[in-house]
């Protein structure tokens, strides 16, 4: 879920943004958000479904998401994991652990774009929904 930029050029830009050539101004409209989100997906060959928050930041406000945060919502629509506020408390390993407990150990894909597969303790192969 794409939310407002954390370190745009016209706000608090970091040296690492310049070094990594990730220099964008804070989007002023939805078209600019869509363009940046597409740049991100293209650059990292991001394989997962993608959503872009609207300019009213509804998703961001509902989930206190900025600058980055992880959640897991279970099948019944309940929050079962709420990660800490990034970047210092952003721990993807905790999500991986939750998924491993539910679906079995996740084998990380070697190539970008590959879908991870997992094996449950009973030997059944599953693909987690992300």
Partner 1 sequence: MKRKMWIWIAAGFGGLLLLVFIALSVLAGSPKDAYGMVRYALPHMHRGNLRVGDEAPDARVLALDGTQRFHIRERLNQRPLVLVFGSFT
Longest dimension (CA), the chain: 53
Candidates 66, 54, 63; CA nearest to 11 is 66
CA-wise closest residue to 2 among 52, 46, 43, 44 = 52
Site for partner 1 in 21-50 (CB under 8 A): 22-24, 30-31, 33-34, 36-41, 48-50
Contact call for residue 79 and partner 1 (CB under 8 A): yes
Residue window 111-130: x/- pattern of binding to partner 1, with contact defined by CB under 8 A: -----------------xxx
Q: Which stretch binds partner 1 (CB under 8 A): 66-74, 106-114, 115-123?
A: 66-74
| 105 interacts with partner 1 by CB under 8 A | no
Number of residues that bind partner 1 (CB under 8 A): 65
> Who contacts 82 (Cβ-Cβ below 8 Å, separation ≥6)?
69, 71
Q: How far is the CB of 34 from partner 1 (least distance, A)?
A: 4
Closest residue by Cα to residue 107 from 122, 120, 94, 90: 120
């Amino acid at each position: 879920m794409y939310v407002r930029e954390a370190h745009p050029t016209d706000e608090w830009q970091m040296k690492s943004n310049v070094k990594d050539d990730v220099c964008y101004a804070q989007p002023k409209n939805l078209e600019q958000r869509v363009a940046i989100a597409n740049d991100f997906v293209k650059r990292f060959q991001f394989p997962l479904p993608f959503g872009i928050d609207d300019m009213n930041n509804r998703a961001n406000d509902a989930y206190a998401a900025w600058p980055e945060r992880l959640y897991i919502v279970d099948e019944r629509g309940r929050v079962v994991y709420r990660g800490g506020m990034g970047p210092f408390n952003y721990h993807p390993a905790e999500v991986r652990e939750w998924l491993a407990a539910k679906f079995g150990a996740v084998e990380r894909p070697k190539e970008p774009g590959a879908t991870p597969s997992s094996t449950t303790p009973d030997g059944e192969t599953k693909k987690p929904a992300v």
